Amino acid sequence: MNRDFDVISAARNWRVEAPAPATPAQVFGELFASDVLTLDELRVRLSKPVYRSLQATLERGERLDPAIADTVALAMKAWALEKGATHYTHWFQPLTGYTAEKHDAFLTPTSDGGAIASFSGKELIQAEPDASSFPSGGLRATFEARGYTAWDPSSPAFIMRHANGATLCIPTAFASWTGEALDNKTPLLRSTEALNRSAQAALRLFGHPEDTRVSSTLGAEQEYFLIAEEYYYRRPDLVMTGRTLFGAKPPRGQELEDHYFGAIPDRVLSFMTDVEHQLYALGVPVKTRHNEVAPGQFEVAPIFEASNVAADHQQLVMQVLRNTARKYGLVALLHEKPFAGVNGSGKHCNWSMSTSSGLNLLDPGETPHENAQFLFFCAAVLKAVDEHQDLLRVSVASASNDHRLGANEAPPAIISIFLGEELTDIFERLVSGEGGRGAEAGVLGLGVPVLPHLPRHAGDRNRTSPFAFTGNKFEFRAVGSSQSISFPITVLNTIVADAIEALSAQLRAKLEEGQDIDSAAVQVVKETYARHRRIVFNGDGYAQAWHEEAERRGLLNLRTSLDAIERLSDPKNVTLFSRYGVLSEREVQARQEVLYDQYFKTVNIEGETTEYIAQTMILPAAANYLRELCAVKTPARALTATASEVAAVTDDLYDALQHLREQNAALGGEEIHEKAHHMRDHVIPAMQAVRGAADRLERLVSETLWPLPTYRQMLFVK
């Protein structure tokens, strides 16, 4: 019997009590951002000149002035000690997609044998983690093995708590000594600036003040599964790879649709409330929680924020979900496809652009002038997405996300835009020159349309699109549930910055010819839409008919991540990124290398784990069952028949396993992309064959002998 691993009791032994419930006044008043070193908090603690200098740094998006660093560090330390922190860490986002931290105590020994808490400006501004263990795609190898982290003052420091203490976390960028980005934050910050520059210039044409700053806004909806810890630790595949490599589909999946938006079980609700309280303390404005489509699947979503802060906060959401689940005897699975045949998990990224005064550039507005400006920015997004389908696809490329994209599930690997009937109709009529359809859609003056009211939630009617307009923002739905949102936003910011710049040049030319801004904008919109309308698709993205139609339209269908990763270093993309100072050619190549490497490692671990489980758990279970069946002195017909069926499938399993073993031992070549291709073309099919036989055995072998918790148990027992 396999039902009594010690590891389970070990895992159970450090359960923490749930926190005492807080009152609403405490939650929204005292708790929110209580563990964040906000600007207000710093203002109280710093002298006026120092605070002003810090503020100026922030506004210009620059590094901290070394002259004030010691003073700021002192204030930070005092605050952190009051909050109970004994350690500090430069908190950064290496290219693994996770966050990394190396903790240092504030401790400094004194000459009299005692110790004091200290923290210098130097330690605040810059630190040198042991960079050699983070992926760099070769960026470090050629020069020096070292990297450093540098404070990003635009994202506030915060306190991370654990059962026995707390740590001051300082959000930082991570770079090599030669200045190349080794992380996800640096390019994101650069792309934010690129978008600002180009949107600012466009807004000036529309008559906005010179100093209007523009940044992208982002709200990421996180989907995840919760399963009981007891099951998790009995599944080496979940522990090693985050997904089940075996498991027959349960008799009931999401067919009954009774889970979606259904009542949330008590245990889960307590967990969610705990998560929310921790996130509130960290200043993360989480807003909604609900059940998702699949049994055991849930979602949490925040109110949108500036994308740099949103990206940091998204990492905290994942971390808090993971850590907190354990307190409730649960494990949060963030993998894109933990269970085959069951709905996967995504991370819809709601994206827009907003001015410093809070004007949402993708809000249609009420007046014809606002409408024209909205159509202009909307057209820029259409152009950007059409021209850079490949980059959007690369930005969500991973071995794990391949189980969603391009599989029989939403969204497809083909990048297209859902605009909704109303908006599509407006663009189409602009191009065809037809007038309005009734008064509400009337055409004013020189062809500036007065937009009808666009329904806010139009996007929800079509959940099959990877990129949907949802009333006042776009929702990029291809992003995977486990990935960092930094690179997808970096790509979005950059491609839209580029499109806005191109459209602004056309607009400027028309203005110089003497056209007024509104009709010039509408002209540009018309021409842009005519050129890029192929990217708009309002139909069913899952349908085979769409795949054929998309091919006719010449849209890319980069089915697997490797097809997409290959394109990252295309000259078009290298030029784009370097033109906007987002990534140098070497940085692009390094990222490509890391993507290949991660793909390779992910599948390689899966292949080895499949082999291990099949050989050491499933084969023995089948053998035990056969022994039981054959041990009967006077066998019933049922037993001999079952025995020969089990024997036949066991032989299939064995053959498939031999093949997998060979594929696991081979590498397919020396280069990382060759190894990655070997994984995709040989290891994955070999794994699937092993799984096929094993899943058939699961339906034959006595349940008491089956070594792995089943889908039925994991998904339905809460």
94 close to 100: Cβ distance less than 8 angstroms: yes
**Can you read off the two tokens belonging to residue 638?**
């049922």
Residue 537 lies near ligand ADP (rule: CB under 6 A): no
CA distance linking residue 161 with residue 354, whole number of Å: 33
Q: Supply the minimum distance, in Å, between the C-beta of residue 355 and ligand ADP.
A: 12
Residue 680 lies near ligand ADP (rule: CB under 6 A): no
Residue 347 lies near Mg ion (rule: CB under 5 A): no
CA distance linking residue 499 with residue 495, whole number of Å: 6
Interface pick for ligand ADP out of 171, 187, 302, 668 (rule CB under 6 A): 302
Which of Mg ion, ligand ADP, none does 504 bind, CB closer than 5 to 8 A by kind? none
Interface pick for ligand ADP out of 301, 379, 384, 618 (rule CB under 6 A): 301
Residue 145 lies near ligand ADP (rule: CB under 6 A): no
Name the one range near Mg ion by CB under 5 A: 125-133, 302-310, 344-352, 689-697: 344-352
CA distance linking residue 187 with residue 195, whole number of Å: 12
Residue 473 lies near Mg ion (rule: CB under 5 A): no
CA distance linking residue 681 with residue 663, whole number of Å: 10
Residue 183, strand partner residues: 94
Q: How many residues does the chain have?
A: 718
Which of ligand ADP, Mg ion, none does 485 bind, CB closer than 5 to 8 A by kind? none
Site mask, ligand ADP, residues 456-475, x = CB under 6 A?
Answer: -x--x---------x-xx--
Q: Supply the minimum distance, in Å, between the C-beta of residue 221 and Mg ion.
A: 5
Residue 509, strand partner residues: none
* Residue 87 vs 348, nearer CB to Mg ion: 348
CA distance linking residue 32 with residue 277, whole number of Å: 8
Residue 488 lies near ligand ADP (rule: CB under 6 A): no
Q: Supply the minimum distance, in Å, between the C-beta of residue 143 and ligand ADP.
A: 39
Q: Supply the minimum distance, in Å, between the C-beta of residue 471 and ligand ADP.
A: 7
Question: Which residue type sits at 714?
Answer: M
Q: Supply the minimum distance, in Å, between the C-beta of residue 304 and ligand ADP.
A: 3
CA distance linking residue 120 with residue 127, whole number of Å: 11
* Residue 411 vs 707, nearer CB to Mg ion: 411
* Residue 154 vs 642, nearer CB to ligand ADP: 154
How does 658-680 read in b/e, with b if 16+ C-beta sit within 10 Å? ebbbebbeeebeeebbebbbbbb
Name the one range near ligand ADP by CB under 6 A: 266-274, 302-310, 401-409, 542-550: 302-310
**Can you read off the two tokens belonging to residue 150?**
């540098």
Name the one range near ligand ADP by CB under 6 A: 190-198, 348-356, 507-515, 673-681: 348-356
Which of ligand ADP, Mg ion, none does 360 bind, CB closer than 5 to 8 A by kind? ligand ADP
Residue 309 lies near ligand ADP (rule: CB under 6 A): no
The 10 Å Cβ neighbour count of residue 267 is 14
Interface pick for ligand ADP out of 350, 355, 481, 560 (rule CB under 6 A): 350
Name the one range near ligand ADP by CB under 6 A: 17-25, 120-128, 149-157, 347-355: 347-355
Three-state DSSP class for residue 260: coil
Question: Which residue type sits at 201?
Answer: A
Q: Supply the minimum distance, in Å, between the C-beta of residue 288 and ligand ADP.
A: 7
Which of ligand ADP, Mg ion, none does 303 bind, CB closer than 5 to 8 A by kind? ligand ADP
**Backbone phi and psi for residue 366, each to the nearest 5 degrees, phi listed first:** -110, -30
Name the one range near Mg ion by CB under 5 A: 254-262, 337-345, 346-354, 687-695: 346-354
352's CB contacts (< 8 A; 6+ apart) are: 216, 217, 304, 360, 361, 362, 472, 473, 474
Residue 348 lies near Mg ion (rule: CB under 5 A): yes
Q: Which residue is nearest to Mg ion (CB)?
A: 348
* Residue 284 vs 550, nearer CB to ligand ADP: 284
Residue 374 lies near ligand ADP (rule: CB under 6 A): no
* Residue 12 vs 461, nearer CB to ligand ADP: 461
Residue 160, strand partner residues: 167
Residue 393 lies near Mg ion (rule: CB under 5 A): no
Q: Supply the minimum distance, in Å, between the C-beta of residue 716 and ligand ADP.
A: 27
* Residue 297 vs 592, nearer CB to ligand ADP: 297
* Residue 382 vs 458, nearer CB to ligand ADP: 458
DSSP state of 261: T
Which of ligand ADP, Mg ion, none does 224 bind, CB closer than 5 to 8 A by kind? none
The 10 Å Cβ neighbour count of residue 205 is 18
* Residue 47 vs 288, nearer CB to Mg ion: 288
Which of ligand ADP, Mg ion, none does 217 bind, CB closer than 5 to 8 A by kind? ligand ADP
181 close to 591: Cβ distance less than 8 angstroms: no
Q: Supply the minimum distance, in Å, between the C-beta of residue 310 and ligand ADP.
A: 8
Residue 621 lies near ligand ADP (rule: CB under 6 A): no
Which of Mg ion, ligand ADP, none does 219 bind, CB closer than 5 to 8 A by kind? ligand ADP
Over its C-alpha atoms, the chain yields an Rg (Å, rounded) of: 28
Residue 343 lies near ligand ADP (rule: CB under 6 A): no
Q: Supply the minimum distance, in Å, between the C-beta of residue 270 and ligand ADP.
A: 23
Q: Is 423 left (phi over 0), alpha (psi -120 to 50) or beta?
A: alpha
Q: Is the dihedral of CA 404, 408, 410, 413 positive or negative?
A: positive
Residue 418 lies near ligand ADP (rule: CB under 6 A): no
User: Which of 386, 360, 379 is CA-nearest to residue 507?
Assistant: 379
Three-state DSSP class for residue 119: coil
Q: Supply the minimum distance, in Å, between the C-beta of residue 714 and Mg ion.
A: 25
Taking CA atoms, 617 is separated from 20, 236, 475, 625, 629, in Å, by 43, 10, 43, 12, 19
CA distance linking residue 292 with residue 257, whole number of Å: 10
Which of Mg ion, ligand ADP, none does 60 bind, CB closer than 5 to 8 A by kind? none
Three-state DSSP class for residue 225: strand
378's CB contacts (< 8 A; 6+ apart) are: 362, 423, 469, 525
DSSP state of 159: E
Where in 201-240 is the site for ligand ADP (CB under 6 A)?
217-219, 221
Where in 575-604 is the site for Mg ion (CB under 5 A)?
none
241 close to 609: Cβ distance less than 8 angstroms: yes
How does 546-565 read in b/e, with b if 16+ C-beta sit within 10 Å? bbebbeeeebbebbbbbbbb
Q: Supply the minimum distance, in Å, between the C-beta of residue 301 and ligand ADP.
A: 4
User: What kind and span of H or E run contains 228?
Assistant: strand 214-228
Footprint of ligand ADP on this chain (CB under 6 A)? 217-219, 221, 301-304, 350-352, 360, 457, 460, 470, 472-473
Footprint of Mg ion on this chain (CB under 5 A)? 348
